[in-house]
Structure 1
């Protein structure tokens, strides 16, 4: 099972998560999307793909904050979790993709196994972030 966990303020990360899910299903994978992620409802096994934007001064969107806080406060046994992070941001801010970069480092720190480096999407260069995410997934699909 591939869990797609989104952090979104205006819906962009949810659109990217939905698109990644559709592409993975086409390749025969099973996915579950978590747009209001709750750590108690996501098994600490299989693959996690976190798709998150960065809000404000490098912060997580409100919908994913409790999930991230739970990971920090009481991390589950992550040895059976492989993960990837897709971070969406605007490079004109000095906190470009800070939330996604933090999520990537956090999952590594608590014992997850990274499938890829944190993938950053700059909305100034990719106004349709789903396109950039699709290119990224095509390059790494065999890892999932």
Structure 2
């Protein structure tokens, strides 16, 4: 069974905690999953399946721990040619047009790299759902069916 590599961008730890929970959930469902700390472009290029979980900072920006990977992917542009990809975006709808901006940017980049989005992006609104797990875990169950 292919391994799902989970890349996360977190400012205050919520996205990292969610990534850990999602990794545990996928594993409990019989899937192979791993968290990627300090990700490099090569980690994305060699991943069998890609899941990005990211919070949004500032005005729709990527968290500092995920930004170098994003910029590296833009610069090196490794084609993902049909590789299964999915994104969970976390944000705050009070920011208007930049709500979940980091996840939206990462999904667009995965598409540009010819990754295959296997499930519509999940946008989690901190204004509505303080705890992201009850929203994310049913989505992850559906994702597991697509992988």
TM range (shorter): over 0.9
1:41 shift after superposition: 3.3
Unaligned 5+ residue runs, structure 1?
Answer: none
Q: In structure 2, what is the equivalent of residue 28 of structure 1?
A: 30
Q: In structure 2, what is the equivalent of residue 79 of structure 1?
A: 81
Are the aligned partners of 2:81 and 2:115 in contact in 1 as well (CA < 8 Å)? yes
After superposition, what is the alpha-carbon deviation per residue over 1:32-53, rounded to whole angstroms, capped at 9, x for unaligned? 1023222223443411000001
Moved over 4 A (4+): none
Q: In structure 2, what is the equivalent of residue 49 of structure 1?
A: 51
TM-score, normalising length: structure 2:
0.92
Residue of 13, 16, 30 corresponding to 1:14: 16
How many residues get paired? 144
Q: In structure 1, what is the equivalent of residue 133 of structure 2?
A: 130
| Larger helix fraction of residues | 2
Alpha-carbon distance in 2 for matches of 1:119, 1:72: 23
After superposition, what is the alpha-carbon deviation per residue over 1:96-129, rounded to whole angstroms, capped at 9, x for unaligned? 0001011111100111000111110001111101
Are the aligned partners of 1:85 and 1:119 in contact in 2 as well (CA < 8 Å)? yes
After superposition, what is the alpha-carbon deviation per residue over 1:54-95, rounded to whole angstroms, capped at 9, x for unaligned? 100111000000000011011112015210000000001021
- In structure 2, relative to structure 1, the CA distance for the partners of 1:45 and 1:60 (3 Å cut) is same
Q: In structure 1, what is the equivalent of residue 100 of structure 2?
A: 97
- In structure 2, relative to structure 1, the CA distance for the partners of 1:111 and 1:31 (3 Å cut) is same
Unaligned 5+ residue runs, structure 2?
Answer: none
